[in-house]
Amino acid sequence: MTRWRAMRAADLPGMIALAALVHPGLPERIEILAERLHLYPAGCHVLPEARTIGGYLISHPWHAGAPPPLDSFLAALPATPGTYYIHDLALHPSIHGTGAAGAILRPLLATPACHHGTELVAVNRSAPFWGHYGFVPAPGPASAEKPNSYGADAIFMRRPPA
């Protein structure tokens, strides 16, 4: 299997194509993903697949209990982050069940950046998947509950500090 590598700006069009496939109801502009890469490249990874992108992970330090609304710019990262935030992990359906998700998640969750806890908004009924990695549903911040942001089935989840 191809290995995960650091994301590059040239990967963004392939990521947008994959996002349209796996998140058809949750569109984000390419500029939003580009800003995440610019602000925190250490949290951005891709799984190259032939000439396209088979998977991507976008994550960054953030304010605890305040997931950014979908398709919104961050402007800047907090000087003193209260949590680490996983914005999205997506794999092409042909790569599901291959272990690719764990290959990027396990090392990420072991980094010092995640030691104060990690948060995300689970979509596409992925909460059981995240539960496998120690995430549990947490009291929902308003932005995670907006049907027009992450969708009606979104679940705010938190992984306690290590």
Query: Backbone phi, then psi, for 147, in 5-degree steps?
Result: -60, -30
The one-letter amino acid code at 106 reads R
Tokens at 100, concatenated: 């690719």
Query: Backbone phi, then psi, for 152, in 5-degree steps?
Result: -65, -25
Nearer residue to ligand COA within complex by CB, 80 or 93: 93
CB of 138: closest distance to ligand COA in angstroms? 14
Nearer residue to ligand COA within complex by CB, 99 or 112: 99
CB of 34: closest distance to ligand COA in angstroms? 19
Residues forming contacts to ligand COA in the complex (CB under 6 A) are: 22, 88-91, 96-97, 99-102, 120, 122-124, 126, 128-129, 131-132
CB of 79: closest distance to ligand COA in angstroms? 27
CB of 2: closest distance to ligand COA in angstroms? 14
Nearer residue to ligand COA within complex by CB, 80 or 124: 124
CB of 80: closest distance to ligand COA in angstroms? 26
Q: Are strands 44-49 and 118-122 parallel, antiparallel or unpaired?
A: unpaired
Nearer residue to ligand COA within complex by CB, 14 or 79: 14
> Dihedral sign, CA of 123, 126, 127, 132?
negative
Q: Which of 76, 87, 83, 14 is closest to 46 using CA atoms?
A: 14
Give SS3 for 99: coil
Q: How far apart are CA 22 and CA 79, in angstroms?
A: 33
Nearer residue to ligand COA within complex by CB, 97 or 139: 97
